[in-house]
Amino acid sequence: MDTLSDEINLLVTLNAGYLAPLKVMLYSVHANNPDEQIHLWLVHASLTATEVADVQNLTIAFGWQFSNEQVQTDFAGGVPLIKRYPKEMYFRLLSGQILPQSVKRVIYLDPDLLVINPLRSLWELDLNGHMLAAAVHRGVTNLVDSVNQLRLGTTTSYFNSGVLVIDLDQARAKIRLEDITAMIAEHQSELLLPDQDVLNFLYGSDIVEIPEEIWNYDTRKYLTYQTRSLNQHDIHWVMAHTVILHYCGTPKPWDANSDSKFTGLFLNYQQQLRRLIPKLSRPTVDEN
């Protein structure tokens, strides 16, 4: 295993539609990793200078490093578009080509999650030669794997793309935009979750599995986790051991009709963030 920097590189890729939940997610990272050195890499195609400054303002308050990586039009233009899905969803897979060569590893996080315990052990995870680490949302049985193997013609488990550890040197060597484009052109009618299907179809054999109940807990499936663990993984266990809560599906916890077991936790972090923001000084914004 290569020597890692003490500084944790976090990668986020999004458009303006997910900026509000992103800020709540970042606040949760800081609240539960207060002593970590963190470098946030914001990868996007279309955020305005003001929107970028809003994110940067938070990182300044947290004492983090911040890099704004706007994907150039010619690069973004080569990404195939699928109705209802933004091109930004592919940037996590293409991050090796987007980020500087000096960046060797990142943890990618979706904006619709909370980090409620320390991330350090995920950052230091031994990938055992694999390019990626990800979790599988299995349910009570392994039916999800079987259905997706049949649908995509794969033999590996079906990994969720919302939390990834990425070895960027391997990604630079193995992940190519033209492979992604060709896969989508050939299988577009079969794709349900395009970025996740691409991840599994092209790179599933190069992923090491991490436990979902720790690193990518599907907040819709509390009773499923309870059943699988023979009632050991109750809410007390989750708060003590789970690191990443993922608000998969809809409604999202910021939606008015959301009322799940984990909605209140998200709303509390959102409320704390709203109390913090008025106290922050804004950095200078260059709109040119």
pLDDT at 54: 95
Convert the pLDDT of each residue in 150-186 to its tens digit: 555 566 788 999 999 999 999 999 999 889 888 888 8
In this predicted structure, what is the pLDDT of residue 18?
A: 96
The reported pLDDT for the residue numbered 2 is 58
Sites in the chain below the pLDDT cut of 50: 288
Handedness of CA 82, 142, 223, 21 (dihedral sign): negative
Domains in the chain: ranges and CATH: 8-279 (3.90.550.10)
What does the pLDDT read at residue 154? 62
Alpha-carbon 93 to chain mean position: 11
Peptide bond into 251 cis (omega under 30): yes
Check residue 4 and give its pLDDT.
81
- In the three-class reduction of DSSP (H, G, I as helix; E, B as strand; rest coil), residue 240 is classed as helix
Average pLDDT, the chain: 89
pLDDT value at position 282? 59
Residues 6+ apart with CB under 8 A from 226: 233, 234
Strand, helix or coil at 166? Answer: strand
Report the C-alpha gap between 21 and 92 in whole angstroms: 18
Residues in a beta bridge with 246: 113, 218
The pLDDT value given to residue 186? 80
Residue in 258, 236, 238 with CA at minimum distance from that of residue 248? 258
**Which residue(s) pair with 8 in the sheet?**
38
Q: What is the pLDDT of residue 93?
A: 94
Q: Which amino acid is at 105?
A: R
